Amino acid sequence: MVAGLDEKLEPIYQEVLRRNPGETEFHQAVREVLESLGPVLVKYPEFADRKIIQLICEPERQIIFRVPWQDDKGVTQINRAFRVQFNSALGPYKGGIRFHPSVYLGIIKFLGFEQIFKNALTGMPIGGGKGGSDFDPKGRSDGEIMRFCQSMMTELYRHLGEYTDVPAGDIGVGQREIGYLFGQYKRITNRYESGVFTGKGLSWGGSRARKEATGYGTVFFTEEMFKARADALDGKTCVVSGSGNVAIYAMEKAMSLGAKVIACSDSNGVIVDKDGIDLELVKQIKEVERRRISAYAEEKKTARYLEDGNIWTVPCQVALPCATQNELNGTDAKTLIKNGVIAVAEGANMPSTPEAIRFFTEAGIAFGPGKAANAGGVATSALEMQQNASRDSWTFEHTEERLREIMVDIHRNCHQTSEEFGAPGNYVVGANIAGFVKVAGAMVAMGVI
């Protein structure tokens, strides 16, 4: 038997392993949720009787297709793309599209599975899904990226719709890619269906604060974890992994709330600036020039660049993993704890390994899991859908305030649920159970479908 699983859940997990061979990230995501659900089946035996857990672990639909396109030299390239429509009990499928060479079905299923519970926690009427391709946009021209996006959408469009499935961006997919994807959708369908994509440009249906939302939301959640312990983020030393969209705006909001961010990273290395990260320089390097983070040290002489370095060795009080899955392992967690970390919040999806989470929990560290702490992005996507449906446009301040309210509610829900189910302060248990119970209740109400 796998340690940590209730005996009633063990056969369900074994069946997931059997039916989804080789999909290690998906296995990890499923197990992490199942480990929290033992007490739920005691309180809600009807969920076991209706086989809700087995249903929720099986996607409603999995779409895999090839994407042929021509590069600038006229050479035909062939990629593989995916859309996993996991669960629509609460609303249309909602989840990003990722472009990265590591993408395969197991990654998309893990992300889609996490999205079910994350979306439920927002309180918005959205289901869970995810998509992506093994296409690598790095080093590609705008023309190549446009041709790839148009080819991908030529197949994908038939599976989308504002009441069916609403994608957004993710790693490798920003406003440029969303524009090309939406443009092709509009061209094929002959409909200006704004609500079919989120993360759009402000001039054509996008939401203010959407770009900032995931990073801001992660910090709002961190702030609430401190408040629950009668402490504050103000004055704390912070490190943020990554230097993409989530990391940049997590740094921005943390700084605005009084934290001192001293390190960030990319896939090549780590920047440490004891004077505090110069965020405008990071934005210039990453958002405008699209260069590696090593360029920061060339511009700022107070900074150290650690090629192939490990950001988790930098002493801090707050750690925000905002890069990618399983970037923070057990050894890293021990190092962070030894160096005085008191709070960790996940800005990325499943960036901490199960061993790391166990070490944080045992040490009494405030740990905010991704499905709660980084739900601000998808929450603001749902707000964008709201604005599109009403042909409205909100101010940045109004959208940010709605985001803060949602993150405060998510924290309260997770905190109260953890207490109700005998694990006070354990946000992993709270997030998993609160999200699951909401989705499971809707699934029971709709019958066997």
Over residues 98-105, the mean pLDDT reads 98
Q: Please say if the pLDDT value at position 3 is more than 60.
A: no
pLDDT, position 290: 87
Q: Is 422 annotated as a binding residue?
A: no
Over residues 229-238, the mean pLDDT reads 98
Q: Please say if the pLDDT value at position 142 is more than 60.
A: yes
Q: Is 399 annotated as a binding residue?
A: no
Q: Please say if the pLDDT value at position 343 is more than 90.
A: yes
d(CA 245, CA 305): 20
Over residues 377-381, the mean pLDDT reads 95
Q: Please say if the pLDDT value at position 383 is more than 50.
A: yes
User: What rounded mean pLDDT belongs to the chain?
Assistant: 96
Over residues 56-65, the mean pLDDT reads 98
Q: Is 349 annotated as a binding residue?
A: no
Choosing from 130, 211, 286, 438, the catalytic residue is 130
pLDDT, position 1: 32
Q: Please say if the pLDDT value at position 2 is more than 60.
A: no
pLDDT in tens, 26-55: 999 999 999 999 999 999 999 999 999 999
pLDDT band at 4 (very low <50, low <70, confident <90, very high): confident
3-class SS string, the chain = CCCCCCCCCHHHHHHHHHHCCCCHHHHHHHHHHHCCCHHHHHHCHHHHHCCHHHHHCCCCEEEEEEEEEECCCCCEEEEEEEEEEEECCCCCEEEEEEECCCCCHHHHHHHHHHHHHHHHHCCCCCEEEEEEECCCCCCCCHHHHHHHHHHHHHHHHHHCECCCEEEECECCECHHHHHHHHHHHHHHHCCCCHHHCCCCCHHHCCCCCHHHHHHHHHHHHHHHHHHHCCCCCCCCEEEEECCCHHHHHHHHHHHHCCCEEEEEEECCEEEEECCCCCHHHHHHHHHHCCCCCCHHHHHCCCEEEEECCCHHHCCCCEEEECCCCCCECHHHHHHHHHCCCCEEECCCCCCECHHHHHHHHHCCCEEECHHHHCCHHHHHHHHHHHHHHCCCCCCHHHHHHHHHHHHHHHHHHHHHHHHHCCCCCCHHHHHHHHHHHHHHHHHHHCCCC
Q: Please say if the pLDDT value at position 220 is more than 60.
A: yes
Q: In Å, how far are 43, 89, 107, 343, 402 from 383, measured between CA atoms?
A: 33, 19, 26, 28, 9
pLDDT band at 256 (very low <50, low <70, confident <90, very high): very high
Which domains are seen in the chain, by residue range?
A: 1-58+426-449 (1.10.285.10), 61-193 (3.40.50.10860), 211-364 (3.40.50.720)
Q: Please say if the pLDDT value at position 274 is more than 70.
A: yes
Q: Is 245 annotated as a binding residue?
A: yes
Q: Is 211 annotated as a binding residue?
A: no
Q: Please say if the pLDDT value at position 191 is more than 80.
A: yes
Q: Please say if the pLDDT value at position 305 is more than 60.
A: yes
Determine whether 130 is an active site residue: yes
